[in-house]
Each structure stands twice: as C-alpha cells, then as structure tokens.
Amino acid sequence: MDNESDAELKKCMVFNAIVDNKYRSEIPDIVEMLVNSCSGRKCFEHLDSAIIPSRESLISIIDLIKDILFPGYFGDQTVDRSSLPYHIGNEIAQLFEELSKQITNSIIHDCNRYEQNCAECVDRGQEETIRFMKKLPDIRSQLASDIIAAYEGDPAAKSHDEIIFSYPGIFALMVYRAAHELHEQGISILPRIMSEHAHNLVGIDIHPGARIGKGLFIDHGTGVVIGETCEIGDNVRIYQGVTLGSLSFPKDERGELIRGEKRHPTIEDDVIIYSNATILGGRTVVGARSVIGGNVWLTKSVPPDTKVIIEEPRLIFKEKR
Amino acid sequence: MDNESDAELKKCMVFNAIVDNKYRSEIPDIVEMLVNSCSGRKCFEHLDSAIIPSRESLISIIDLIKDILFPGYFGDQTVDRSSLPYHIGNEIAQLFEELSKQITNSIIHDCNRYEQNCAECVDRGQEETIRFMKKLPDIRSQLASDIIAAYEGDPAAKSHDEIIFSYPGIFALMVYRAAHELHEQGISILPRIMSEHAHNLVGIDIHPGARIGKGLFIDHGTGVVIGETCEIGDNVRIYQGVTLGSLSFPKDERGELIRGEKRHPTIEDDVIIYSNATILGGRTVVGARSVIGGNVWLTKSVPPDTKVIIEEPRLIFKEKR
Amino acid sequence: MDNESDAELKKCMVFNAIVDNKYRSEIPDIVEMLVNSCSGRKCFEHLDSAIIPSRESLISIIDLIKDILFPGYFGDQTVDRSSLPYHIGNEIAQLFEELSKQITNSIIHDCNRYEQNCAECVDRGQEETIRFMKKLPDIRSQLASDIIAAYEGDPAAKSHDEIIFSYPGIFALMVYRAAHELHEQGISILPRIMSEHAHNLVGIDIHPGARIGKGLFIDHGTGVVIGETCEIGDNVRIYQGVTLGSLSFPKDERGELIRGEKRHPTIEDDVIIYSNATILGGRTVVGARSVIGGNVWLTKSVPPDTKVIIEEPRLIFKEKR
C-alpha cells in the first residue's frame, strides 16, 4: 500500500474505541494483515470502481415485474379492474426508477472496466430501461404460453392460478424471459445476477443467453441447468435434474477455452426430457417429438420421433434375513 | 376495458407528477399497452377477486409451527420448563390469529371461484384452524419418529439436536406433515404454497397430497420429488435427487389428462432408495425391505426383498499424456 | 409436569385476554395438550438449556466474511483503496462481536450437554474467534484459487468479477472454507448451521468436516453433496448433482452405526466428475486425472487416468403418428 504510516494512523483512530481487552487488542494486526496481504493472484479486490448492481434491489425489481405481469396474484390487496391503470401505473413508475438505476450501474461498471467515456451512461441506462419495459407485453404472452403448457402437462395442477402463484418453473421462466431481453440489449452483469437469484430460489439455472421458444414446461425443476448457448423449440417439457450442458472431456478441448461459440444442445419442438437426463454438446440436436428417458446421458444427436432410454436395471433377489 | 376515457383520465392524474423527462414521458403509453393488451389466452389477470394467501404470512406461520413443535430449539432466548405454558400459549394464540386469516382467504378464494355463498367463510376458517391445531401433538410425534430415523440412519449426525436445527429433510417433513393435514381438511391453495416454500428453501418437493408413514428419513434431500398420489410406508430412507413421479410417456396417455387418479408409486415399509433414482407410475409398487440403487430408472413393480441396481459403468484407460 | 395447578393458573392468566369467542375458547386445552403430551420419544424439547446459535446472526456473520474477503464486490457503495483500512477495520470489529457471541453459545451448549464447568466459555469463545480471524488471509487465497479454477474451467464466465458475485459454487466454497476452519478448531453446531445455510441458498451441501484442496470448481452445483469424511485433491472439477457419499447397503453394515470412521471417497488431483455422477464409499479412491462421466454410479476405486462412463443409451424409433 502506498501510504503505510497514514493507514496506520487511520487504524489507530478506528480502534482506539474498541480495543479494550486482550483479544480485541489483536484486531488491528489482523486488519493490517488483511489490508496488506492482498497481492497478485492471492486474492481479488474491487476497489475504486463502480458499484455492482445490488442483489437486494434486484429482488424488488423482480417482485415489481411479477406484479406487473400478473396483476392481482401477489401482494396483500385485491386489485379491481377500474383501478388497474393506477396499480400498473405506479408499479411501472417504480420499476423505471429502480431498474434504470441498476442498468446504469451495469453500464458504468463496463465503462470503467474498458476505460470508455461514460458521459452517456445515465442517459443510456434510462433509454435501455424504456426499451425493456416496452417488451413486457410480449414477455407476458410468452409466459401465458408457459402457464398453459404447465396446465396441459401436469395432472396435479388444479388451476392456472395455482401454477402462477406456486410453480417454481414459472418463476424461473419469468426471470429468464426478462433477463434474456436485457441480455439481448447488451446489458451485462444484471441479467446474470437475476438468473442466479432465481437459481437460488428455485434451483433452476437458466443462463440469460439461452434461446427458448414458447410453451416450455419445467416440472418441479430442482437441478435443471440450461446453458448459455442452448436452443429450445416450442412446447418442450423438461423435468427436474435435467442438464442441457456443454461437452468438454479433455480430449475434446483444443488447449485454450474458446468463449462464445455454441457449446450447448439444440432441442427441437415437442420434445420431452425426463428427470435427471443429461444432454451435452453444441452439435447435439434432439429431433422434434423425441422423448429422452430419465437418467439418460446423451452426447450425440438423435433424429425426430426417437425414444432414448437406458437399459433396464438389474434385479437381485436378496436371501431373506 | 369498459370505460376507456375514464381510465385515460386516471392515468393522466397518475403521471402528471412523474412525467418530467424524455424517457419518463414514454411511461403512460407503456402502461396503457399493458392495461389494454391483456386479452384471451395472451395473459392472466386476477382482478376483482379474493386475495391469495400471502407467502410472507405463510413464512411466519411456518416459523410459529416450528417453535411450537420444537420448543427452545429456535429463537434467541432460553425457554425454561416453568414458563413453557406461557411460551406455547402465546405462540398458539398468534398461530390462531394468523393461520385462521390465511385459511379464511383460501376458503373465500374458492367461494368466489365457484360463486358459492360465502357467509360462513370466516366462521369456517376459524373452525378449520382449531381442527388443525388439535392435530399438532400427532404431527409432533410423527416428526419425532422422523428425527429418530435420521439419527439411526446417518452416521454423520452427532445428536438429535443437530438433526432438528440443521437437517433440511426434517424441515421439509415438518412443512409436509402440517400441509398434508390442511390438505386432508379440504383447504386449497394454502398447502401448496406451504410446500413450495419448503421446496424453495431446501429443494425437497413433497406434494401435500402424498401419504407418508412414520420414520421417513430424507438425507441431504436436494432434488427429491414426492408426487401427489405417492404412498410411502414406515421407516423408508430416501436420498437426494430421488423422484417418485408419474409415468406419462405419450403412448401411455389416452388423449385427455385425467386429474386425481393414482399416478405415483407405492413404496412399502423399510425400503431404501439411493441418490438420483427415479421411480415412476401409479401401478409401480416397491416391495418391503427392497433396496433401489442410485441412478436407477424404474417403471415396474419389484417384489419384497429385491435389490435393484444399474449395470457396472465401463472403464476406459486413457493413454498417458 | 411437576407443578400442574401452577401451570393451570398461568394458562388462565395468559388466556383471559384472548378468549373471546367459541373457537378461541378451545385454545387453552390445545396448549395444555401440547405442554403435557410431550414425553419419552414422542417429541423433542430443548428446555432450560443454552440457546443454539441463531441462523439470523449466522447470516449477518457470513455477509461480513464475504465483504471482508471480497472488498468492494458487495454492498451499495464504492470502496476506495485509501479508506480500505477503515472499511476492513470496521467489519472485522463487527465480525469479532457477532462471531464471538455465537461461538460462545456453541461452547456453552456443549458445556451444558456434558455438564462441564463453563467458567471459561466466554473467554474461550473470544480466543477461538481471534484464532479464526487470523486464518482469513489463507481462506481468501484458497478462494482465489477456486475463482481462477472457475474462470479457467467455464467458457461461460466473462470475468473473474462475474464469478465472485454470481457463481453459487464460490459462495458455497466460501462458507465451507470458513466453516471447515471452525470445525477444525473443535467448534460444534455453528459450522453445521453455516453449511446448511449455504445448502439452502445454493443447493450445494458440503459437510464442514470434508478436506478439500485448492482450485475446486463446482459448476452450477445444485444437488452436489460432499460428505463429512471426503478427501478432495487440488484442481478438481465437479458438476451439478454429483454425490460423494457413504456406501451403506444393509449387508455392508455390521449392526451398529459406527460414527467418525472414513465413509466417503477420496478424489485425487485433477479429476473431473460430470453431472449426477454418484461416488460412494470410504475405501473408494478415484485416481488422479480420471474423468467420471455423467450419471455414473461408482462404488469401487479406479486407477489414475481412467475414464468411467455408462453404456450408450438405447434408441427406439417411434412409429410416426
């Protein structure tokens, strides 16, 4: 650190107050160790740079989007049709304030990283927010197709309402479809924090870069992974634990990691993939109307109308105890 | 919308305040688009109808139940035996207030949906709450059998205490056993929101409709799915990623989805199911004392005392690099 | 309960206030039932004993550790280098206050359980806290190796920053590496609550007792289980749904559960384990540079440089509909 003694002084000021017993008296040395030991690849700091969009604000943004897309389903008061414009209006105004701030943070963060001129950042932040909000009706109708697919795909669903307020797959798709639009607008950081928030909540990990058609039904969903360069057609059904990932056995790699190329599979229309199936590789295509059985490990393409299953398990009859 | 110009007027009033720059000035059109574009199957609204039980209140209800069933384990002060009646008494009183409100919401929500007379709803809400609270001692002793099963089934468990305050399976079973009783009482919505809350927290998805005997041990649990019509006997052990689901390959379906019939397997007493095994189908019965190996995909019944395993994996020896 | 009538009296006092309708009037009996029905193995109470470290305080402790190890990445204001000593200093001081309280609770809890003399508990709580805080620089550099491994192992990672603020595996490893040090210091309870908190948030279940080398990359991570007696070498890569667990088919058990012996596998350096693979058993060793394919179920050792995969799945071509 450039100005050692200065920092020493500061630490003294900080600790005069709290240093009052034999253990607390060791604290300043620990602080100094932490401040001064960070060098090279031994640790990571994020100093003197723009703040990263906070997860807390992201959560309230996602709640606002949820209320706007599904008016009356969440929150603790009835929404009546006559006051709907007030309701949506207030929430859209809030969304603009909060989202434009976070989008601006993301833009400034990139600006600093690449030492670009940041004069336009705030302006662009608001512009991108408006662009995003104009897509909300489309996002809403895509989600409607997902809800209908869930109702038609799950005998346990008693109503469309139940799906909207309790199905984790719908929540994950709502966050994905919003994050994907921001990702398409070239906003960095923010979409990934959004998708990780959904991942934390419902255990479904959909990268904002994936391309997903309408009417996707993810049932139960815990452990589902949909990679950055996946392409999924319309009316696909996916169960818990399914991975659509990249294939990277050492021999398949040519030294350096290449970032950005298609590494994840393509799933055509009307495919069903049962629980814990794993489908890997950027050249792997699962043809339309195919059914992938549970616990399958697939790294090659299959033609349309194929059923892929693992061998029957072996039965062993135990001697009675 | 019935009264267009009226709504226009309202929006103006709402936005005069906030419209103060070139981007904000676009907000009213976005609101109008959102308010007016929702029609047919393009989106879902929940207007002019009873509110849905809120997840926030559900969380405090679940915390109350946790404290009542396991006095002294949670919360930040010691509970001594002499004050136990106070402690339980206050929490039961709170539980009655909060739970009866949410049960009433669920009942009113159904009333509205089916346009029934709702005069009795509040009364019935309180009645059902009392009925539920009278079952708490039974729920507590069922959970005791689960805790004992966990201690006897897991060498990593150092004490019964550790299981109670840190095992996700016990939390999931506590929420399930409470939600199941409400489900049996014919309360809708609420039990599903409860089970989804547990699913979010610990990744274990148990439908309130499932029937589960005593002494179930769910170890680790992430990704476990236990479907609506499952029947599980006594002293069963289940590991992470296990699915007890429905079998619905296209050919097995006769056009329409039939809701309510038994679609999920029956697991008899003393069965062990290892991680990531998948057992599907309403006619599938796993006989008593059977052991289902990890990553097995089972869609047929097996007799008692059977061990079911997949083939040994293939070994390939890589050429040294 | 020793003093029945006394408790009766108390309950009356408690309920005079709230008993005001036909349903509420049933509450006292429910309370009495709950207070008096708890006996033998029918339920668990934690009365007259030390409080258990609260999860709420644990969460703020973990947030403090996160900010100290990764200054400037989280929180809502820029941290500049010149004020870093203030920033770290204040957080270390807070960490000392909160962590020493919780460590002391854990120590007192054990004291009571084993009826030891507890005179030294508070003193020892502070001593162990200082001991732990002195390890923070080492924990930070171990995490740096994990972050570098993630960047080198995942083409989807755009920067080291993205990994730090959005990768669940890094969060789980941060909590593990901190909890492991406390576990090594002989602190009970606290480390398990920490690991379960991480498990709840990101679905990755790493027991604080496991031994993990540097440069571990856990990608996606949902459903990963790393057992108490696992040993993992350097530069290992693990994908979602992987279990490193104990093998306990009934026939392998000799009556009683033995606690503490090595029950979980050893993974040598540079091994890759793909999604949903399950590796079990304390004598199972996966040799260096081996690759375990997805959905493999492995209960035997494999030599170095081995590739282990399951059979190709079967393809069935459906008759066109």
Q: In what helix (H) or strand (E) does residue B292 lie, and over which residues does it extend?
A: strand B291-292
Distance CA A59, CA A193 (A): 10
What's the confidence (pLDDT) of residue B18? 47
Are the Cβ atoms of B144 and C44 closer than 8 angstroms? Answer: yes
Distance CA C137, CA C69 (A): 8
CA-CA-CA-CA torsion sign (B171, B175, B178, B180): negative
A5's tokens:
């003694």
**Chain C, nearest residue to A196 by Cα:** C166
Q: DSSP labels for B86-124?
A: HHHHHHHHHHHHHHHHHHHHHHHHHHHHTT---TTHHHH
What's the confidence (pLDDT) of residue C301? 96
A122's tokens:
């705030």
CB within 8 Å of A200: residues ≥ 6 apart: C168, C201, C202
**Chain C, nearest residue to A256 by Cα:** C152
- Count of other CB atoms within 10 angstroms of residue C99: 27
**pLDDT at position A137 over 80:** yes
Considering only CB atoms, A245 lies closest to which of C134, C148, C275, namely C275
Q: DSSP labels for B222-256?
A: TT-EE-TT-EE-SS-EEETT-EEE----GGG--SS
Cα of C149 to nearest chain A Cα, Å: 12
**Chain B, nearest residue to A70 by Cα:** B45
**pLDDT at position A42 over 80:** no
A212 three-state secondary structure: strand
What's the confidence (pLDDT) of residue A258? 61
Q: Are C241 and B223 in contact (CB under 8 A)?
A: yes
Residue with tokens 């989202």: A99
Of the pLDDT bands very low, low, confident and very high (cuts 50, 70, 90), residue A254 is very low
Measured between beta carbons, the chain A residues lying within 8 angstroms of C162 are 189, 192
**Chain A, nearest residue to C197 by Cα:** A200
Are the Cβ atoms of A166 and B260 closer than 8 angstroms? Answer: no
Cα of B252 to nearest chain A Cα, Å: 13
Name the nearest CA neighbour of A43 among C72, B149, B52.
C72
Considering only CB atoms, C47 lies closest to which of B71, B294, B320, namely B71
Chosen for mutation from B6, B13, B23 (greatest number of chain A CBs closer than 10 Å) is: B23
Are the Cβ atoms of C193 and B100 closer than 8 angstroms? Answer: no
Distance CA B286, CA B231 (A): 10
Measured between beta carbons, the chain A residues lying within 8 angstroms of C203 are 203, 222-223
Higher pLDDT, C138 or A251: C138
What's the confidence (pLDDT) of residue A74? 86
Chosen for mutation from A60, A272, A295, A321 (greatest number of chain B CBs closer than 10 Å) is: A295
Distance CA B191, CA A277 (A): 30
Q: What is the mean pLDDT of each run of 10 residues along chain B (321 residues)?
A: 53 48 86 83 80 85 95 84 90 95 89 76 93 96 96 88 93 98 94 95 97 97 96 97 80 53 95 95 96 92 94 73 45
Chosen for mutation from B30, B106, B276, B285 (greatest number of chain A CBs closer than 10 Å) is: B30
What's the confidence (pLDDT) of residue C320? 47
Name the nearest CA neighbour of B178 among B136, B134, B226, B150.
B136
Q: Are C202 and C170 in contact (CB under 8 A)?
A: no
Are the Cβ atoms of C28 and B291 closer than 8 angstroms? Answer: no
- Count of other CB atoms within 10 angstroms of residue A305: 17
Measured between beta carbons, the chain B residues lying within 8 angstroms of A316 are 306-309
Are the Cβ atoms of A241 and B245 closer than 8 angstroms? Answer: no
B85 three-state secondary structure: helix
Q: Are B238 and B273 in contact (CB under 8 A)?
A: yes
Are the Cβ atoms of C48 and B77 closer than 8 angstroms? Answer: no
Distance CA C29, CA C25 (A): 8
Are the Cβ atoms of C45 and B307 closer than 8 angstroms? Answer: no
Considering only CB atoms, A306 lies closest to which of C144, C241, C317, namely C317
Q: Are A203 and B203 in contact (CB under 8 A)?
A: yes
Structure confidence by residue, pLDDT tens digits, A268-282? 999 999 999 999 999
Are the Cβ atoms of C14 and B90 closer than 8 angstroms? Answer: yes
Measured between beta carbons, the chain C residues lying within 8 angstroms of A11 are 85, 89
Name the nearest CA neighbour of B192 among B168, B175, B211, B213.
B175
Burial of B177 (0-12, 13-18, 19+ CB in 10 A): buried
Are the Cβ atoms of A315 and B306 closer than 8 angstroms? Answer: yes
Cα–Cα–Cα angle for B45, B49, B52, rounded to 5 degrees = 85
Q: Say what the pTM is.
A: 0.89
Are the Cβ atoms of A85 and B10 closer than 8 angstroms? Answer: yes
Q: DSSP labels for A237-266?
A: EEETT-EEE----GGG--SSPPPSS--S-E
C214 sits in the region (left: phi over 0; alpha: psi -120 to 50; else beta) called: beta
Size of the A and B interface in Cβ pairs below 8 Å: 236
Q: HSE on the CB side for A312, CA within 13 Å?
A: 7
Q: Are C58 and B91 in contact (CB under 8 A)?
A: no
Cα of B285 to nearest chain A Cα, Å: 14
Are the Cβ atoms of C311 and B314 closer than 8 angstroms? Answer: yes
Low-confidence ranges of chain C (pLDDT < 70): 1-20, 40-41, 115, 248-260, 319-321
A37's tokens:
């030991």
Distance CA C69, CA A45 (A): 8
Are the Cβ atoms of A47 and C313 closer than 8 angstroms? Answer: no
Distance CA B189, CA C205 (A): 31
Q: How far is CA B2 from CA A81, A236, B7, B49, B179, in A?
A: 9, 37, 9, 18, 41
Of the pLDDT bands very low, low, confident and very high (cuts 50, 70, 90), residue A38 is confident
Chosen for mutation from A11, A36, A47 (greatest number of chain C CBs closer than 10 Å) is: A47
Are the Cβ atoms of A31 and C85 closer than 8 angstroms? Answer: yes
B285's tokens:
């019965």
Q: Are A137 and B33 in contact (CB under 8 A)?
A: yes
B184 three-state secondary structure: helix
Are the Cβ atoms of A14 and C93 closer than 8 angstroms? Answer: yes
Cα of A306 to nearest chain B Cα, Å: 12
Cα–Cα–Cα angle for C177, C178, C184, rounded to 5 degrees = 85
Read off the DSSP letter of residue A71. Answer: T
Are the Cβ atoms of B88 and C51 closer than 8 angstroms? Answer: no
**Chain B, nearest residue to A137 by Cα:** B34
C278 three-state secondary structure: strand
A299's tokens:
């790294």
Are the Cβ atoms of A241 and C223 closer than 8 angstroms? Answer: yes
Rounded CA Rg of chain C:
25
Structure confidence by residue, pLDDT tens digits, A81-117? 888 999 999 999 999 999 999 999 889 888 877 767 7
